């Protein structure tokens, strides 16, 4: 029996990381020794303190019921405390914080609250795919904002046409950036807040990598600049902050009207994050600074091993200040990131992510994740040296 898919579903491109995982599994079935620098999934387990906190919370049957959609008050209060100490931003835990089943879920649901069919989302290109996917599922249209190396991988807001801005509802930004690992200065956030207010836009800042940074660099919050709380929200996740990708726990903070609207969507789609995991999230924020000090040192050592190694074989690559990715242009004479990634997988047994999978402006680049040991990174460089 044939089933006709909705137009919205047919407009969705194949999800990049699912396709990468398929290719990796095929190579593993063929018996290849695979070094996975593809999907950014921390290789170390979640902190033992967080696991113990979850175990304790599981023993209480009160946590086995439907959770509150907004999130338990103790977790929201802890998030507010963390925001205050980390960024100097004051938040009302009752109105300006919403717990999410991972930040991806909130990012994907947000357009359903604000985008009508035909409305436009301003989306960086290349970008984390759910910015596009959420908009398409809401019936909206994508306007790509190219992130070019010549502009430090920042969108040029001045190049967006007035006719597009009249139809635009949401402006997505993401710093530290995935996939380019670029960072931004406070002035960029200030420009975004002013731009959004001028054109009546909602800003969605994805800050999933705000806590993964090197060389003394400390990413800041969009919500810290003047006017940001009037126009936007900021998404955070414990996935990268505390090695909790599989736990699916995150939060969004900011303008109370935007938070309320996202919450209304969520209350009609899901029943909130499991209470026991939220309680473990409190512990995660309690230990985050200590955990990150160690993990960022680990990632920095891996970053140096990868970038120094690539440069030693003639593949010019810059050291990122943040995220656990290296974003680098293809070595000569290669042009297609998909073909090059396929060659690297087939001939060297290394999974890397083709830049074009994040958007047209990502063509000519690849992304490599720092989520394997230094020893495996050095082995990957040795393998690459033989094929490029």
Residue 128 has pLDDT above 80, yes or no: yes
pLDDT at 375: 98
For residue 375, give its domain range.
7-44+289-387
For the segment 224-266, what is each residue's pLDDT rounded down to a tens digit? 999 999 999 999 999 999 999 999 999 999 999 999 999 999 9
More confident residue, 23 or 178: 178
Residue 110 within a domain: yes
328 and 223, same domain (yes or no): no
99 and 235, same domain (yes or no): yes
Spatial CA neighbour of 41 closest among 236, 272, 248: 248
pLDDT at 23: 77
Chain-centroid distance of CA 149 in Å reads 19
For the segment 90-107, what is each residue's pLDDT rounded down to a tens digit? 999 999 999 999 999 999
CA distances to 83, 141, 173, 225, 238 from 87, rounded to whole Å, are 5, 33, 18, 11, 16
Q: Confirm if 137 and 112 have CB atoms less than 8 A apart.
A: yes
Task: Write the CATH number for 148.
Answer: 3.40.640.10
Q: Confirm if 174 and 213 have CB atoms less than 8 A apart.
A: no
Summary mean pLDDT of the chain = 95
330 and 369, same domain (yes or no): yes
99 and 209, same domain (yes or no): yes
Q: Confirm if 256 and 92 have CB atoms less than 8 A apart.
A: yes
pLDDT at 68: 81
Q: Confirm if 287 and 57 have CB atoms less than 8 A apart.
A: no
Q: Confirm if 299 and 214 have CB atoms less than 8 A apart.
A: yes
pLDDT at 388: 86
The dihedral of CA 181, 186, 190, 191: what is its sign? Answer: negative
pLDDT at 29: 84
Of the chain, the percentage scoring pLDDT greater than 90 comes to 89
And the tokens for 88?
């100097």
Residue 89 within a domain: yes
For the segment 34-52, what is each residue's pLDDT rounded down to a tens digit? 999 998 899 999 999 999 9
Residue 1 within a domain: no
Q: What average pLDDT does the segment 207-219 reach?
A: 97
Q: What average pLDDT does the segment 22-32 reach?
A: 79
202 and 313, same domain (yes or no): no
Domain boundary among 288, 306, 330: 288
Q: How confident is the model at residue 69 (pLDDT cuts 50, 70, 90)?
A: confident
State how many domains the chain has.
Answer: 2
pTM confidence score: 0.95
283 and 294, same domain (yes or no): no
Cα end-to-end span (Å), the chain: 48
Q: How confident is the model at residue 82 (pLDDT cuts 50, 70, 90)?
A: very high
382 and 296, same domain (yes or no): yes
Residue 2 within a domain: no
Residue 118 within a domain: yes
pLDDT at 16: 67
For the segment 340-362, what is each residue's pLDDT rounded down to a tens digit? 999 999 899 999 999 999 999 99
Judged by DSSP in three states, 283 sits in helix
Residue 28 within a domain: yes
Spatial CA neighbour of 251 closest among 37, 79, 17: 79
For the segment 147-163, what is each residue's pLDDT rounded down to a tens digit? 999 999 999 999 999 99
301 and 217, same domain (yes or no): no
Judged by DSSP in three states, 71 sits in coil
Residue 139 within a domain: yes
Residue 28 has pLDDT above 90, yes or no: no
The interaxial angle of helices 103-114 and 256-267, nearest 10 deg, is 100
DSSP state of 248: -
DSSP string, 296-323: HHHHHHHHHHHHHHHHHTT---PPPSBS
Q: Confirm if 83 and 236 have CB atoms less than 8 A apart.
A: no
pLDDT at 362: 97
244 and 378, same domain (yes or no): no
Contact partners, residue 333, CB within 8 Å, separation at least 6: none
If one counts every other C-beta atom within 10 angstroms of the C-beta of residue 332, the result is 10
Residue 199 within a domain: yes
276 and 344, same domain (yes or no): no
For residue 380, which phi and psi values (nearest 5 degrees)? Answer: -60, -45
306 and 182, same domain (yes or no): no
For the segment 273-310, what is each residue's pLDDT rounded down to a tens digit? 999 999 999 999 999 999 999 999 999 999 999 999 99
53 and 34, same domain (yes or no): no
DSSP state of 7: H
Domain boundary among 288, 317, 338: 288
Spatial CA neighbour of 228 closest among 249, 248, 210, 204: 204
Task: Write the CATH number for 373.
Answer: 3.90.1150.10
């Amino acid at each position: 029996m044939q089933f006709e898919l909705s137009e919205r579903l047919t407009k969705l491109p194949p999800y990049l990381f699912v396709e990468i995982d398929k290719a990796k599994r095929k190579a593993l079935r063929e018996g290849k020794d695979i070094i996975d620098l593809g999907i950014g999934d921390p290789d170390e387990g979640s902190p033992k303190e967080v696991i113990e906190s979850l175990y304790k919370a599981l023993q209480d049957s009160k946590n086995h019921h439907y959770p509150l959609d907004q999130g338990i008050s103790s977790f929201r209060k802890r998030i507010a405390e963390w925001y205050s100490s980390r960024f100097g931003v004051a938040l009302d835990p009752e109105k300006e914080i919403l717990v999410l089943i991972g930040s991806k879920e909130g990012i994907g649901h947000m357009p359903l609250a604000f985008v009508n069919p035909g409305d436009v989302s301003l989306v960086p290109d290349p970008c984390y795919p759910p910015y596009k996917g959420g908009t398409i599922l809401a019936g909206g249209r994508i306007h790509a904002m190219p992130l070019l190396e010549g502009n430090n991988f920042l969108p040029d807001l001045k190049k967006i046409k007035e006719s597009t801005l009249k139809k635009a509802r949401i402006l997505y930004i993401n710093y530290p950036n995935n996939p380019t690992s670029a960072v931004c200065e406070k002035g960029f956030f200030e420009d975004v807040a002013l731009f959004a207010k001028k054109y009546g836009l909602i800003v969605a800042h994805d800050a999933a990598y705000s806590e993964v940074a090197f060389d003394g660099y400390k990413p800041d919050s969009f919500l810290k600049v003047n006017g940001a709380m009037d126009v936007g929200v900021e998404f955070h996740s414990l996935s990268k902050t505390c090695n909790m990708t599989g736990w699916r726990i995150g939060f969004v903070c900011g303008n109370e009207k935007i938070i309320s609207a996202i919450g209304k969507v969520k209350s009609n789609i899901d029943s909130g994050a499991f209470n026991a995991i939220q309680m473990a999230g409190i512990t995660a924020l309690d230990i985050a600074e200590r955990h990150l000090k160690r993990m960022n040192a680990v990632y920095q050592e891996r970053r140096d091993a990868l970038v120094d190694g690539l440069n030693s074989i003639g593949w010019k690559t810059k050291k990122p200040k943040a995220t656990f990715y290296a974003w680098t242009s293809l070595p000569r004479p290669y042009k297609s990131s998909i073909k090059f990634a396929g060659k690297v997988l087939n001939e060297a047994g290394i999974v890397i992510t083709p830049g074009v999978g994040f958007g047209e402006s990502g063509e000519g680049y690849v992304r490599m994740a720092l989520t394997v040991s230094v020893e495996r990174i050095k082995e990957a460089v040795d393998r690459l040296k033989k094929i490029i």
